[in-house]
Amino acid sequence: MAASSATPRPPLKPGLFGNLRFDAIAGFLVFLIAMPLCLAIAKASGFPPIAGIWTAVAGGLIATWVSNSALTIKGPAAGLIVIVAGSVSGLGREFVPEPLADQRAAMVAAGQTDEQITRAVDDERALVGYRLTLGIGVVAGVLQVLLGLLRAGRLVDFFPLTPVHGMLASIGIIIISKQLYFVAGVTASKEGKSLPELFGLVNHHAGEVGGEPPGPIQLLMEFPAAFTKFQPEILVIGGMSLVILFAHHFIKNKWVKMVPAQLVVLVVAVTLGFAFDLDHEHKHLLPAHLFNGLVDDGEVVKWPQFLVNMPNVLAEPAKAFTVPDFRAVATLSGLKWLFLFVAIGSLESLLAAKAIEQIDPWRRKTDFDRDLIGIGLANTLVACIGGLPMISEIVRSKANIDAGGRTRGANAFHGLFLLAAVLAIPGVLHEIPLAALGAMLVFTGFRLANPAEFVKTYKVGIEQFVVFVGTIVATLATDLLIGIGVGIALKVAFHLWHGAPLKGFIWSDVKIISEGDRRVTVLVRRCALFSNWLGLQKVILDQLRVRDEVIVDLSETRLVDHSVMEKLHELEMTTAQMGKTLHVVGLENHKPLSTHPLAARKSL
């Protein structure tokens, strides 16, 4: 039924250049969306803005030709901001300690103020942390290539879906907590507080040397007070950008959708930047009495700090590239960031490639191992010159499909247009206000942590909602690694509560019942869980290669979790596209844990 109602897809033309016109147009439209996002993601990650451009260029001109993923756009992604920024900040603090008392005294005696000393230390930490993170990025890229060669692409199906969605939502909240300050043109606190200190359970000890920066909960709690000191001109730019992005998102008119919201934001923001003369210092004129004295009247504002710092690559190539520092790779903290770069980066990229495969109009299949090799190779090379880590990015890939992209050439064109822009118009890129980039990231964070995702998860089942929210809370209170660990632990705890045997978490207990040359039944026993899905999936796929019809019988299982239900549903659709049949039976005596059709099932 679905096939008959679908819009007929246009035929692909043979040869490398047969689809050139379509791919060039799609690549240009994706370039318009990608350029500001590349700058914004790099800035938010603690990298220079040009680093994001190099990443997308490498994704378009290197990764795309190694991978066979036809429509995915490779480049920097908001989902990695938390990891990259955490690495830059953490490694910078570790390798550049606070000046000792006698060193600080000598600096003061030499005429430096405390503010100048602090700024100098912060600048050195930012540079050192950036270079150390590049070293982590080079090694992470090599490991991704090795994982692809070891055929680890199928591991995308190992992770339970709900903690992964919780992880992405928490990343969205963290992005929002930091970028709101850029939208309003205000400064966030540099001194972190523990959760007991934040909620007044213990006294806060100010001035701790080398302390942690504020976390997302603290940033959100302190933003209302910080907002009272907003820069009016910057807030106008940031506020207008947010209005445009959200209006474009909710307006369904097809003519409005034809114009990328990011392009409109750039035009409006740069125009306002010129009108407010952001290239020069001057005083803002917001009367203090309107806010009961909370705003300093006539404060001198260093406006150029609110614009993108973009070097002229052709005139000053030394400023456009940075070499990595590998000292952190052998440290415990470096190994932590290396694991996160490889695990989260690979997982996000494979999930995106899999999602785009599902909506490819020509139903082409992605070799996930090749995709991992391509991403890893490009990550290795781009980290050597100062670029961000990349993944297959789902939003830009969807825009590519909507714009009529047909082959990998669209990704290549998007990379070429970005390269041309950074070489030909660096002055124009320099005029982009940071408030506009911050607004784009706030909007991206909203999409990752969309309230609709909370409602959707709740409908799947209260247990899934607990896992989802638990992952978010743990991530916000600690870090990404602990957060995803808590989510998986909650998932396992619920399975044990429902009677899943310990052996069933690892081994997929199946029995093959042949019913002739064309049909077979795969009888699943004990349980079908996210942790043993890879084994069950292999059995099903092996049978589909040699038979036309496979029946998956779940009648002898104690528990079938939500992840397996969803993956079986996806496999049913994929099998139908292959011209074969997959039936899931035996759930009549199982009780669904919610009314959702893909809810977990427990035997009665």
The string of pLDDT tens digits covering residues 86-123 is 999 999 999 998 887 787 788 888 888 888 888 889 99
Cβ atoms 508, 535 nearer than 8 A: yes
What are the distances in angstroms from CA 279 to CA 183, 243, 265, 542? 18, 24, 19, 63
* Bridge partners for 556 per DSSP: 525
With a CB cutoff of 8 Å and minimum separation 6, the contacts of 246 are: 443, 446
Structure tokens at 69: 């993923």
Length of the chain as a residue count: 604
136's enclosing H/E stretch is helix 114-149
Contact between 439 and 238 under an 8 Å Cβ cutoff? The reply is yes
CA–centroid distance for 132 within its chain: 21
Measured distance CA(237)–CA(272) in Å, rounded:
7
CA distance 91 to 531: 33
Residue 512 φ/ψ region, left for φ over 0, alpha for ψ in the -120 to 50 degree band, beta for the rest? beta
Q: What is the mean pLDDT of residues 321-333?
A: 97
Residue 150's contacts (CB-CB under 8 Å, 6 or more residues apart) are none
As a whole number of angstroms, the longest Cα–Cα distance in the chain is: 90
Residue given tokens 């009549």 in the structure block: 588
Nearest residue to 35 via CA among 17, 57, 14, 13: 57
Q: Beta partners for 584?
A: 552
Task: Tokens for 246, please give them.
Answer: 């959200």
Q: Which of 154-163, 173-182, 491-500 has the lowest mean pLDDT?
A: 154-163
Q: Which residues pair with 488 in a beta bridge?
A: none
**CB contact at 8 A, 157 and 347:** no
Whether the predicted pLDDT of 209 surpasses 50 = no
pLDDT, position 113 = 85
* pTM (two decimals): 0.89
The DSSP element (H or E) to which 601 belongs, if any, is strand 601-603
The share of the chain scoring above pLDDT 70, in percent, equals 93
Mean pLDDT, rounded, for 158-173? 92
Query: Do 124 and 95 contact (CB within 8 A), yes or no?
Result: no
Check if the beta carbon of residue 498 is closer than 8 Å to that of residue 604.
no
- Alpha-carbon span 577 to 565, nearest angstrom: 19
Band of the pLDDT at 4, cuts 50, 70, 90? very low
Q: Which of 36-40, 104-108, 358-362, 498-502 has the highest mean pLDDT?
A: 36-40
DSSP state of 307: B
What does the pLDDT read at residue 159? 84
pLDDT at 293 > cutoff 70: no
**Pair type for strands 391-393 and 73-75:** antiparallel
Pick the range with the lowest mean pLDDT from 224-233, 436-445, 523-532.
224-233
Set out the domains of the chain in order of their start, with CATH numbers: 19-186+229-435 (no CATH), 452-497 (no CATH), 502-603 (3.30.750.24)
First-to-final CA distance of the chain: 34
Residue 302: both structure tokens together: 């260093």
Phi-psi region of 85 (alpha: psi -120 to 50; beta: other; left: phi over 0): alpha
Percentages of the chain per state (helix, strand, coil), in multiples of 5? 65, 10, 30
Higher pLDDT, 23 or 2: 23
Among candidate residues 81, 92, 126, 146, the one with its CA nearest the CA of residue 440: 81
Q: Are 437 and 40 in contact (CB under 8 A)?
A: yes
At residue 365, does pLDDT exceed 90? no
Give the range among 192-196, 399-403, 571-575 with minimum mean pLDDT.
Answer: 192-196
pLDDT for 282 equals: 59
273 class by beta-carbon count within 10 Å (0-12 exposed, 13-18 middle, 19+ buried): buried
Spatial contact of 41 and 51, defined as CB atoms under 8 Å apart: no
Average pLDDT over residues 125-154: 96
pLDDT band at 297 (very low <50, low <70, confident <90, very high): very low
Nearest in space to 190 (alpha carbons), one of 222, 148, 224, 237: 222
Residue 6: the pLDDT is 40
Average pLDDT across the chain, whole number: 90
| DSSP per-residue letters across 497-540 | HTT--GGGGT--EEEEEE-SSSEEEEEEEEEE-GGGHHHHHHHH
- The enclosing H or E element of 416 equals helix 409-424
Q: CA–CA separation, 171 vs 176, rounded Å?
A: 9
CB 392 within 8 A of CB 352: yes
Q: 558 versus 198: which is more confidently predicted? A: 558
What 3-state class would DSSP assign to 311? coil
pLDDT tops 60 at residue 497: yes
